[in-house]
Amino acid sequence: MAEASIPSVPKRVLLADGTYVEWDRYHQPHPKAVGNNQSRNGFLYNCYTHPMGRFFQETIKVWLEKGIARIHDKEIPRYDKEAYVFDDQRLQLLQSELKALSRKHLNDNDKTRKRELVDNIAEIWLFMMKEDIYWRRVGLPFLFEFAEFIVEHKDILTQVTPDEIANREKWG
């Protein structure tokens, strides 16, 4: 069905300045997201009704996940069948903790797919550190300094917005 032929009932949306605008979710970007380069509480384009929103959900996200899965499952093991087996205690520790964290934090109804994505990304990076001394030499200090940064800015980084709390309560 052509975009122009989709019937739409505009929805009133309250903006931060206290004014309301009419939003056609089938044909327009979300007015709260336009020009808002902060973390969004929704999608720029409705992911179910707008062609660009469906493009993000059905094309961009799918192909990113497929690309990462292909590299993890096919390409790297073609090079090294034991790519994700680590003798280095540091890499073993990181692998174990990263998997534990993905299980702790990814618990919605789509947790299996999301955990696999996060685990694949982590293992690709760990493999790079296993295989290439350069990445190990810079990767481990990078993680250590990043952890220090997180601790130093914990008060800012652990703030949770009301919308994020509502999202967690809805989806787990």
Delimit the domains of the chain by residue range: 84-164
Which residue, among 18, 23, 42, has the nearest Cα to 166 in the 3D structure? 42
Name residue, tokens 């087996």: 85
Each residue's pLDDT tens digit, 39-71? 556 677 778 888 888 999 999 999 999 999 999
Span between the terminal Cα atoms of the chain, in Å: 35
- What digits encode the pLDDT tens for the residues 113-133? 999 999 999 999 999 999 999
pTM: 0.74
- CA-closest candidate to residue 52, choices 67, 71, 34: 34
Q: Is the pLDDT of residue 165 over 60?
A: yes
Please report the pLDDT score of residue 131 as a whole number. 95
Task: Tell me phi and psi for residue 137, to 5 degrees.
Answer: -65, -40
pLDDT above 90: residue 152: yes
Least confident of 13-17, 81-85, 125-129: 13-17
